[in-house]
Amino acid sequence: MRYELIIYWSNVDGNFIVDVPELPGCMSDGATHEEAIANAQAVVQEWIDTAKSLGHPIPEPKGKLAYT
């Protein structure tokens, strides 16, 4: 997976949160970094599969945060 992952701790959720900013609304969580990343990999694939099935474009991974 080449999409950027932003990982942070959430005191509210008591978990690590992973945001995939290049895929709108694509997020996951986990009790550990490893679990959160594994969950993110599954969610990214689900996001892509859903977008394909709906005929939506799949953004190309940029691999780094792009500030505009």
Query: Burial, 13: exposed, middle or buried (Cβ in 10 Å; 0-12, 13-18, 19+)?
Result: exposed
**8 A C-beta contact, residue 3 and residue 44:** yes
- pLDDT tens digits in sequence order for the chain, 68 residues long: 689 999 999 999 999 999 999 999 999 999 999 999 999 999 999 999 999 999 999 999 986 655 55
pTM, whole model, 2 decimals?
Answer: 0.85
Q: Which residues sit opposite 28 in a β-bridge?
A: 18
> How many domains, the chain?
1
For residue 43, is it within any domain?
A: yes
For residue 68, is it within any domain?
A: no
* pLDDT given at position 67: 54
For residue 61, is it within any domain?
A: no
Query: Burial, 18: exposed, middle or buried (Cβ in 10 Å; 0-12, 13-18, 19+)?
Result: buried
For residue 59, is it within any domain?
A: no
- Tokens encoding 57: 């474009």
* pLDDT given at position 63: 65
Q: Which residues form the domain of 47?
A: 6-54
For residue 47, is it within any domain?
A: yes
